[in-house]
Amino acid sequence: MEFGTPLVEMKNISIAFGGVQAVDDVSVDLYPGEVVGLLGHNGAGKSTLIKILSGAYKADSGEICINGTSVTINSPRDARTNNIETIYQTLALADNLDAASNLFLGREITNSFGLVNDDAMEAETREIMARLNPNFKKFASPVSALSGGQRQSVAIARAVYFNAKILIMDEPTAALGVHETQMVAELIEELKRQGIGIFLISHDIQDVFKLCDRVSVMKNGQLVGTENVADVTEDDVLGMIILGKQPEKAA
């Protein structure tokens, strides 16, 4: 299914922190309407790699292309200009602010006098939350008062609201219950249909097999390999994660 120009190409990305080579010459790509899982142990470099795409870190070397054009991403703001939205594992919410303020943080709706328009932001938030999580009612509370699932829906709403073309999800279901995990899975299907490309970071192999089209495995900062989910078994992928070995191709 890999035709045409990839939505995202990360080519030969490397980054080191102090003496530690966190990401070492890794290349991954992502096509529209595709979910690519990034698997690996803790500290394998998945999150670091993805933070380079979302603008939280700057790569020491390598190139990022969006729709075939090389782009520079120096800050989360740059990433957003390229329609890249990220849902962080830590959710990156400002605990003392309410859902609407968090959703629009850094991109507040202002009126012609430059005043923050709380009413408009809350109305928009209510609208998107009605779609994502109809049970969500706590619009006036600071997000510190919300449950894990509710916080997750705020983080997801923030990513989805601004018409992302590329979505990065870092452990999106880690803190969720069964019902909420199902909600995220349905959301991912829906976003795929809209042609959005999704990087899904996880260490739950079953999750990845259920949700992803391809899977890229990292170990010790290096890319072990990228496989179509349909062509490999869970054991193959486990082997890649633990041993860092490419599965032997049948035929």
Q: Which residues bind another protein (CB under 8 A)?
A: 54, 56, 75-77, 80, 86, 88, 90-98, 100-102, 105-108, 110, 114-116, 118, 140-142, 144, 158
* Complex with another protein: residue 12 or 81, whichever CB lies closer: 81
Q: What is the DSSP string of 169-204?
A: EESTTTT--HHHHHHHHHHHHHHHHTT-EEEEE-S-
* Complex with another protein: residue 110 or 182, whichever CB lies closer: 110
Nearest alpha carbon to residue 77 among 143, 162, 5, 151: 162
Q: How far is the CB of 170 from another protein (least distance, A)?
A: 11
* Complex with another protein: residue 4 or 114, whichever CB lies closer: 114
Q: How far is the CB of 161 from another protein (least distance, A)?
A: 12
Nearest alpha carbon to residue 215 among 11, 17, 83, 29: 29
Nearest alpha carbon to residue 211 among 198, 226, 196: 198
Q: How far is the CB of 96 from another protein (least distance, A)?
A: 4
Q: How far is the CB of 218 from another protein (least distance, A)?
A: 22
* Complex with another protein: residue 159 or 240, whichever CB lies closer: 159
* Complex with another protein: residue 2 or 162, whichever CB lies closer: 162
Give φ, ψ of 28 to 5 degrees. Answer: -135, 160
Q: How far is the CB of 57 from another protein (least distance, A)?
A: 11
Contact in structure between 222 and 26 (CB atoms under 8 Å): yes
Angstrom distance (rounded) from CA 23 to CA 44: 8
Contact in structure between 133 and 153 (CB atoms under 8 Å): yes
Nearest alpha carbon to residue 36 among 234, 247, 217: 217
Q: How far is the CB of 119 from another protein (least distance, A)?
A: 10
3-state secondary structure at position 132:
helix
* Complex with another protein: residue 119 or 235, whichever CB lies closer: 119
